[in-house]
Amino acid sequence: MSEYRINQITNQAGTAGPQVAGITTFSSSSGLVMPSGATEYRGGRGRGLFGGGYVSPAPGNQNIIDYVTIASTGNALDFGDLSVARRGSNGAVSSSTRGLWASGYTSSNVNIIDYVTISSTGNAFDFGDLTQSKRDVSSGVCNSIRGIWGGGQTDLPSAVKTVEYVTIASLGNSSNFGDLSAIKRGVAGCASPTRGIFAGGYTGAIFYNVIEFITIQSTGNALDFGDLSQIRGYLSACSSSTRGVFGGGFTPTIVNTIDYITISSTGNAQDFGDLTQARYGLASSSSSIRGVFAGGNSPTAVNTIDYITIASIGNAQDFGDLTVTRDNGLGGCSDAHGGLGD
């Protein structure tokens, strides 16, 4: 083993040296390995992103991506833009580094998949396309490897039960996974590292209270989990690695209901509390501790952001505001959600 004895470290001119504040220690049985790779992948996590949506009557479809620090409170900040202004892109999925938005509606349904690096800021880049159908108001679930979208609307009044997946770290078009139990749109999605949950939804005059689940790393059709406390569509969901939480929705009465389930089991949802404001078409993101619900229609578009503590029960509290009031399928994701197992 080599031994280093250094009496003094200075700059080249010999006029100054390093400044150390506080107490710094280091011990290792091997050498010190300095960080490498792109700097945007370093540092802490816990950022929630909200992209797309709709502002009525003008300017209509939005390409805005906002971000918040989930552990704090305060108004959202500008992150960048989606590649195309669109609503109904509520099927956002994410790993600890990358966020994806799929599908949506411009002047017609689109099959676009965009991606961003969550810890940086900037505009979205092209990832690939949904292959099974062009659709909006589909729902997303994910773990650290796979992003999965289920259901959605093709051309009014049609809907689909298709489930598709991508590998988040790569680029490319989606592949077929299986089917939901019924054709529906406005479904809510959340996940643990192993299991994806789809809840609620709407088709024509029919509202659903069905909760279904899939095993994320397999393929196949969704299986029955239980029921929400009430039938509703256009709700939103977030999760820790153990608990899924579903907020808001349309029955067709607009509701402030929050339900929860234990993801690893099966059974009906239980009452959690209420949102600060009844609304539908909202987005959500989460850390392992806190869930955040943003935007929505109440019955006009709002910029409200609420938060809950996932492991407890109780009513949501005010977090702050989005940069722009919007509703109708903005999509939320984060770098610390329950599907990542943190």
- Per residue in 5-21, pLDDT (tens digit) is 555 666 555 555 554 44
Segments of the chain with pLDDT less than 50: 4, 19-24, 26, 32, 37-42
Residue 178, in any domain of the structure: yes
Q: Which residue has the tokens 């479809």?
A: 61
In the chain, how many domains are there? 1
pLDDT at residue number 327 = 87
The average confidence (pLDDT) of the chain is 88
Residue 165, in any domain of the structure: yes
Per-residue pLDDT of 63-74, as tens digits, reads: 999 999 999 999
Task: State the residue range of the domain holding 236.
Answer: 49-340
Residue 150, in any domain of the structure: yes
Q: Which residues contact 275 (CB under 8 A, 6 or more apart)?
A: 247, 248, 256, 257, 258, 293, 306, 315, 316
The amino acid occupying position 252 is: P
Residue 129, in any domain of the structure: yes
pLDDT at residue number 16 = 55
Q: What percent of the chain has pLDDT over 70?
A: 84
Per-residue pLDDT of 170-189, as tens digits, reads: 999 999 999 999 999 889 99
Domain harbouring 166, CATH code = 2.120.10.80
pLDDT at residue number 42 = 47
Q: What percent of the chain has pLDDT over 90?
A: 68
Q: Which residue has the tokens 């994910």?
A: 142
Q: Which residue has the tokens 């409200």?
A: 304
Its pTM stands at: 0.86
